[in-house]
Each structure stands twice: as structure tokens, then as C-alpha cells.
Amino acid sequence: MSDAYLALETGDVVEARARAPGAAQGELVFTTAYTGYEESLTDPSYEAQVLTFAYPLIGNYGVREERFESDRVHPHAVVAREMTDDVAEWLEAEGVPGVDHVDTRDLVTDIRDRGAMKVGVSAGPEASPEEAKAQLESCPHMSDITDIGERVSVDEPVHHAGSGPRVALVDCGAKGSIVDSLTARNADVHVLPYDVSAETVADLDPDVLFISNGPGDPANFEATEALVTHFKGDLPIAGICLGQQVVARAFGGTTEKMTFGHRGVNQPVLDHESGRVVMTTQNHGYTVDEPGDLTVTQVNVNDDTPEGIDSEEYGVLTRQYHPEANPGPHDTLDFFDDVLALAEDRAALTVN
């Protein structure tokens, strides 16, 4: 007898085995990554989602805190074909429902065909299809979660001292490895709340404004977009993932929701200038539609969506993928060198 249920927006109810009890709701998405489950589960970009792992066995090398990207699990629930006790116990300790014994091949196919969808989850001794359906009925769309930045951002500034360029890193849900990649290059990093004021940033006198990755609809990060608008032309600006989307919007561009997004560690990206294709790690459900005053310099080989948006005139350098991803390909780690080189040459800006 099943003790877990997934109520899908399609009307289907999927039976499963409870591995960590609880009830939850969220946007059902999948990742094709075959390693890195610890990093995925602690990635703030998965906030308010229910994460399905396409790879059939999750937990085969244990759980180690030093691989975490943040201080907690962010998906509201986790779905797997088979989940080890290590992962199940971790999820239970975090209060996050986890289920397995699901035909994840079928579930992933549904998401690919129909798009990311709302789901309700009920798991544990008292689980029922009715509870899962009730969770589904009250589940908001991602675009309606207007406080999602507040859920994942730091409350107060955090300083990581360094002797290199000063980076104002706006935390929209930043992964720890972004900070690590900058501090490893001796950058002086100030991690700031997503809604930090322009006055606070100006008082820091940074060499570059860096907008991090994060969850949800970039349109809901209005304060961050306004910050970019305030400093465009005055400061070099960099961004990763959601950061690229927010920066593009601030320069007159538009963003749109994708059918099921890019989530995995083998997304091919073509650089227009060099003709080189690199492999990248990605986790996003929104993309830049039009870049506004900026220029698309890299695209996804599979669907031609923008992966790099630059502007020499404005001093802008953004990437949709995660150059710092752990685990993942290291093809694009030089992005951080390019950002810091941009920061060291603020005088190169030609816009006043």
C-alpha cells in the first residue's frame, strides 16, 4: 500500500513511497544531473519547487555538508526513483518531504511534454490523495510568489575580505560557490540583500555590481532591477542566471517563462565570437527574450536561447549558466577572471 501521493496539475495522482514525511506544494521540475544532488538540494534557485531527479539513484555517495551551496534544503519536496537512507534522513531532519518508487522517466516525459506544472505532495503514515490535491489547489504560480527574494537573500550585509577589486554581490539566492570563486581570486566581496538601497551600494564604492542567481520570476525582483538601472553606465555590472535576466530587464530587455527550463550539467553553449562550444551547468525556468540595449554573445545550442549578454560600452558581462557549478564542467571558470578584469578597469566605461 502506498504511503505517498503526488497530485499533478494534469489531474493525475501518482502513488509513491514516503521517505521523509510531510505535505508540500510547488512547481514540479526535473534535473538531468547524475551527480551533485547535495548541491542541487541546497541551491536557492530551487526555492518553491518540487525537484524530480531524472537519474535513478540519489544518494549513492552519501551526504557531506562541505558540498552544500547554502545552509538549508530549498526544494519544497523531492522526488526520486530510488533514494538512499542518507538522503531520506537528511530531508526528514530538514522537514522536507521526500518520496521515491516513482517512475521518474514517465514523470520527466510529462514535464517535457506539458511543461513545468504545479504539484501537491502528501507523504507519511497519514498521507492521502485528498491531502495532495488540497496542496495542489492552494499552490501559487511561480510568477505570483512576489516575496521569493526575501526567502533566499541575506538579511544583513556579509563581508568576505580580500585585497582585490571590491565586489558588491547582490544576493538574490546566491550559491556559496559564487562567493568562493570570487574570494579565491582575492576579491573583496560584500554580499548584500536583494533589496539593498542604491545609497548603501554607493557608500561601498564597489568596482563592480554583481547580481547573483536566484529563484522564480525575474519580474518579481523589482528592487534589484531598479538598482541595476541606477548604476548602469557608472559601474561595471555582472550577473549569473537570474542575474542575467534582471540585468537585461534593466537595460530595456524582456524575459519569459520557458516550457520546462534548463536544469542539468551538460547544456552546450556556443560563443559567437570564438565559435567555441562549451558544456555548462544550468538551473533556470525563465530566460531573456529580448536583450534591450545589450548584445547576445552566447546561445544555447539546443534551443538558441541567450546564454551570454555583454556590452563593452556599458561594461556589462552576464551569463545564464553557472560557471562556478560544483560538480559540473569547468569550461567557463574564466568568467570570474573576466569580471574582475572589468572591475579593475572602471575607466573603460564610456557612458556617463
Instruction: Provide the annotated active-site residues.
Output: 241, 322, 324
61 labelled ligand-binding = no
286 labelled ligand-binding = yes
Q: Are the C-beta atoms of 185 and 214 separated by less than 8 Å?
A: no
266 labelled ligand-binding = no
Torsion over CA of 320, 278, 164 and 222, rounded to 10 degrees? Answer: 0
311 labelled ligand-binding = no
Q: Which residue has the cell 531598479?
A: 226
252 labelled ligand-binding = no
Strands of the sheet with 188-193, listed across from one edge: 158-160, 188-193, 166-171, 208-211, 237-240, 316-319, 306-311, 295-300, 254-271, 277-290
Contacts of 347 (CB under 8 A, 6+ apart): none
Exposed/middle/buried for residue 311 (C-beta within 10 Å: 0-12, 13-18, 19+): buried
Contacts of 268 (CB under 8 A, 6+ apart): 277, 278, 279, 280, 300, 301, 302
214 labelled ligand-binding = yes
Q: Are the C-beta atoms of 276 and 298 separated by less than 8 Å?
A: no
Q: Are the C-beta atoms of 282 and 262 separated by less than 8 Å?
A: yes
245 labelled ligand-binding = yes
242 labelled ligand-binding = yes
| Sequence ranges of the binding site | 45, 214, 216, 242, 245, 283, 285-286
| Sequence ranges of the binding site for L-glutamine | 45, 214, 216, 242, 245, 283, 285-286
